Amino acid sequence: MSHKVALTFEDGLTKFIKVNPMETVADAAYKARINIPLDCRDGACGTCKAFCESGTYDGGDYIDEALTDDEADEGFCLPCQMSPESDLVLRMAGTAEMAKTGIAEFKATIERLHWYADNTAGITLEVENRDELHFLPGQYMNIKVPGTDEERSYSFSSGPDDQKLKFLVRTAPDGVMTTYLRERAAEGDELVLEGPVGSFFLRDIKRRTLMLAGGTGIAPQLAMLEKIAASGIQPAHPIHMAYGVTFDHDLVEVAELERYAAAIENFTFDTIVADKDSEHPRKGYVTQHLTDEHLGEGDIDVYLCGPPAMVDAVRGYWKNQGIEPANFYYERFATGVSHEQGVHAEAGAA
């Protein structure tokens, strides 16, 4: 049985390869013309050393100078020796350019454009060669804005196995994507997409998980939840989402969250509205509605996506609480007068 392996590079680009039985990841990568760092091919030099973010594998044979036992226990591996036992996500050393591979381009047509509110749009796309577009839930695509030389980046809000691609767009008064969507866009329009890109994606659920979303920062987390729900495997650990917005009308896709709460055991969510005049039962900021149970004394994986102010505030919250999560993955959106929310400025793991 073959397995799908995602190779994520330091510049955020992800490439997917198929690894056949009895084949190493390195051999499959070179067959796909992806020149990952490689020297000896026999587990002696450590040049190809990577980190396994997700999945299981047979590590193969190698010497301690190439990969120590402590490194192997942490999740480091040697693609020249390893054989997948499941689908994998590997964090590679170096950039995609160094591996002599580039970003992929796809053509899509707008199947549906709808507005949740004056400032938030949803786009559903039908993509040519959909079976060739693979992505990790949480990643994004660069979308070229028709009639301009610019592009904007938006996270998938649909799951990796969904045939149609969905994105959320938070508009800005003079944003180029905003202008296109409001004045020129129509169903049937052709768009050009590039990607997938991004290091903010779902890892294996190994402990309590906390998802924090601000505004359209819920989009990548919807893709993550869809992946979990579609897998048919119920997570063994609790997953809680705190979804915060400024005004009532900023809340979107709540019905989807309710659907996931019904489909995924141990998944719960709260919505929070900052507007003091709101009649929403939970007002304020997401951190004001986190309990000791949600924090799990730090034995949690945190996924945070939202505007810069929210990301900075949450990072400060952990520091003030004196709690360091086991893993803290975040992505912030660049926002401003001329930037629609959804343009990715920074992603990281702390």
Looking at domain 208-349, its CATH architecture is: 3-Layer(aba) Sandwich (3.40)
Asked if domains 3-91 and 208-349 share a fold, the reply is: no
For residue 319, is pLDDT > 60? yes
**CB-CB neighbours of 21 under 10 Å:** 9
pLDDT tens digits along 120-140: 999 999 999 999 999 999 999
Report, as an integer, the average pLDDT of 303-332. 90
Q: Tell me what pLDDT residue 340 has.
A: 52
Q: Tell me what pLDDT residue 180 has.
A: 96
Q: Tell me what pLDDT residue 347 has.
A: 58
For residues 177 and 242, the answer to whether their CB atoms sit within 8 Å is no
Q: Which two tokens stand for residue 147?
A: 């009639």
For residue 309, is pLDDT > 90? no
210 vs 337, residue with greater confidence:
210
104-197 CATH, one of 1.10.3720.10, 2.40.30.10, 1.20.1560.10, 1.10.10.10: 2.40.30.10
Listed by start position, the domains of the chain span: 3-91, 104-197, 208-349
Looking at domain 3-91, its CATH architecture is: Roll (3.10)
Question: Distance between CA 67 and CA 62 in Å, rounded?
Answer: 7
H or E stretch covering 89: strand 88-91
Stated length of the chain: 350
Report, as an integer, the average pLDDT of 323-331. 92
Q: Which of 144-153, 250-259, 314-323, 329-338 has the lowest mean pLDDT?
A: 329-338
Question: Distance between CA 147 and CA 142 in Å, rounded?
Answer: 15
Report, as an integer, the average pLDDT of 257-284. 97
Which residues lie below 8 Å from residue 227, measured CB to CB, with a gap of 6+? 137, 159, 160, 161, 202
Q: Which two tokens stand for residue 296?
A: 């799990």
Report, as an integer, the average pLDDT of 285-307. 92
Terminal alpha carbon distance of the chain: 35
Question: Distance between CA 345 and CA 334 in Å, rounded?
Answer: 5
Share of the chain above pLDDT 70, in %: 95
The residue type at 8: T
Q: Tell me what pLDDT residue 338 has.
A: 36
